[in-house]
Amino acid sequence: VGLARAAAGHGARILTRCRAVSSSGLVDELTGSSFSVQARVVINATGVWARTLAPSLPLRPSLGSHLILPGSILNGLCAGLTIPVPGSSSRYVMALPQHDGRVYVGLTDEPFDGPIPDVPTVPGADVDFLLGVLNSVLEQPVSPSDVIGSYAGLRPLLSAEGATADISRRHVVQVGEDGVVTVVGGKLTTYRRMAQDAVDAAVRSSGLTAGPCVTTRLPLPGAGPGASGPRRLVARYGTEALAVHALGSEQVAPGVTFGELRWGVLHEGALDESDLLDRRTRAGLVPADRSSALDAARQALLRTQGA
């Protein structure tokens, strides 16, 4: 969301709830209407869905799963644990305490076969694996019934021999015969270099002109010195923390305030409850938290959209 806001601030037009069905055809998933977008060049940066527009890509998706535990289960753990996976010299399971008192445990790295889901889920085998490694260093074991939430993601790894955990995280930029520029692979920590390489390829292949890339010195919204406000909001929103706090300080779920929900509608393009609870805040990661915040999300949408 921060990237989209930064791009919009530099002139980009952001379209959500639109599905690309070809290199130029889009479908509005709210109304069902189809339309086309004319462009000198198209960049396909859709992760594990990249083969929709570039079917020849040698992708090997990998599933990464996380579990969420109440902090009380681990006696108020206040420092992260890094636990070696038995039998491996390069894999670890981490238990990381969060600002809301929960502990995130992850993550797995397993091959994923079959159709790519919109929202991947955590399989039972991953729950057993993560708890098994965690319990190897605990005096009191954690059971599956202690897990209050979970989430998973898919890595768009480039196909290679061996275990997915050992596959290089390098990225590749490919220009197809139809002119579509596709970027895949990489990691979240290298996203700026991936973007630079993809845009450079787009400029070269299409004959566009552009000045020097500025991503290395371009801050995201909220980044900067002098941030003030509630500590948790500063950690999440930076210099925008006070503006978020001014919209409402009532806690609607652990680690989520009403002001954050309103901010999501006003400044982050949230259109419905799922946007707010599942994609702008982390309330949706724990089903009980999602339920408790649902009415507040609806109120934020009504109040803000009606303002």
Same domain assignment for residues 148 and 66? yes
Q: Which residue has the higher pLDDT, 52 or 120?
A: 120
- Residue 275 pLDDT greater than 70, yes or no: yes
Q: Indicate whether 45 and 176 sit together in one domain.
A: yes
Residues 260 and 126 both lie in one domain: no
Cα separation, 7 vs 10, in Å, equals 5
- What CA dihedral angle connects 11, 16, 22 and 26, to 10 degrees? -100
Q: Domain range holding 115?
A: 62-155
| Per-residue pLDDT at 192 exceeds 90 | yes
**Is the Cα torsion angle 254, 99, 192, 183 positive or negative in sign?**
negative
- Do 87 and 154 contact (CB within 8 A), yes or no? no
Return the pLDDT at 307.
56
Q: Looking at the domain assignment, is residue 223 inside a domain?
A: no
Q: What pLDDT is stored for residue 258 in this prediction?
A: 98
- Indicate whether 224 belongs to any domain: no
Q: How many domains does the chain have?
A: 3
Residues 68 and 123 in one domain: yes
Residue type, 65: S
With a cut of 90, say whether residue 273 has pLDDT above it. Answer: yes
For range 118-146, the mean pLDDT: 96
The pair of structure tokens assigned to 305 is: 């959209």
Cα separation of 200 and 212, whole Å? 10
